Amino acid sequence: MSRVVTESGAEPSARDLAGSPDRFGYEWNAYGEILPEYEEQFQRWTAHIAPEEWRGKSFLDVGCGMGRNSFWPMQYGARQGCAVDIDERSLAQARRNLARFATVEVMRASAYDLPFAGRFDIAFSIGVIHHLEHPELALKQMVRAVRPGGQVLVWVYGNEGNRWLVGALDPLRRALLSHMPIAWVHHLSLYPATLLWLLLRLGLRPNAYFRLLAGFGFGHLRSIVFDQMLPRIAHYWPREVVLELMEAGGLEDIRLAAVNQMSWSAIGTRPAAPPTNKEPERAGG
């Protein structure tokens, strides 16, 4: 079984609750199964790291949800991992999905207060920091968590390719959906998901993302629609903002890749520890 840590001393703070941990906890409680098609999504989101490059590595998954993004590195041969989230429903599903991996730790911890320093080879956060009020603080915590020379990767919504979401859905979500009881939002997601499913069946596939969606079942499509409708905060960042965020975190060798023509995968390296300039003391000096 995975090693379970239920108490890390982290309580949801005002900064945590400004995001949507409770609302995503509802989502992952409703959609907690690991689906085979999640693997292709994970590989697209982590485009800078090939499956074989996870072998022997240690990783930190920040905002793990139900554990789907920790599952694949372990399948690829990662040495050990730590999956953290703040909502207990998300963590319960993560424990269930990761139970087969003896070297995965499931921990309750805030993205703003990660209890690690220089521990991991890779820290990643998939679809999380764009839902935070202070993403720059979470990213700095991730940088601190990796060893010097370690890598930090994030996948975030892009502004490019999402103009229709930014112009239509996002104002509706901010003004109405984010204030509604989450069960109501879940019910309402049925209708746009049905419309999307029908349009995909009729051949609507204007970009890489819609071509990917066309291969998903209805339940998976509904979970994606619901995921777009539920958060209190959702940032859609242009490339330059993602680059600035990574640079502000103190990362170097930063690389960005467009994902599905609608989002960004970004990776950077924590600088190696600077060499000391102090000369050794001479005996008898």
Do residue 72 and residue 39 come from a single domain? Answer: yes
Domain span at residue 171 reads 163-229
Instruction: State the pLDDT at residue 8.
Output: 43
Whole-structure pTM over 0.85, yes or no? Answer: yes
pLDDT digit string (tens) for 119-151?
Answer: 999 999 999 999 999 999 999 999 999 999 999
* β-pair partners for 81: 59, 104
> Whole-angstrom Cα distance, residue 244 to residue 14?
25
Residue ranges in the chain modelled with pLDDT below 70: 1-19, 274-285
Instruction: State the pLDDT at residue 277.
Output: 57
281 within a domain of the structure (yes/no): no
Task: Report the CATH number at residue 49.
Answer: 3.40.50.150
276 within a domain of the structure (yes/no): no
Instruction: State the pLDDT at residue 162.
Output: 83
Instruction: State the pLDDT at residue 14.
Output: 52
Do residue 17 and residue 140 come from a single domain? Answer: yes
Do residue 89 and residue 193 come from a single domain? Answer: no
274 within a domain of the structure (yes/no): no
Do residue 16 and residue 70 come from a single domain? Answer: yes
Do residue 103 and residue 241 come from a single domain? Answer: yes
The answer to whether 152 and 67 are in contact (CB under 8 A) is: no
Please state the three-class secondary structure of 228-255 as a single string: HHCCCCCCCECHHHHHHHHHHCCCEEEE
Domain count, the chain: 2
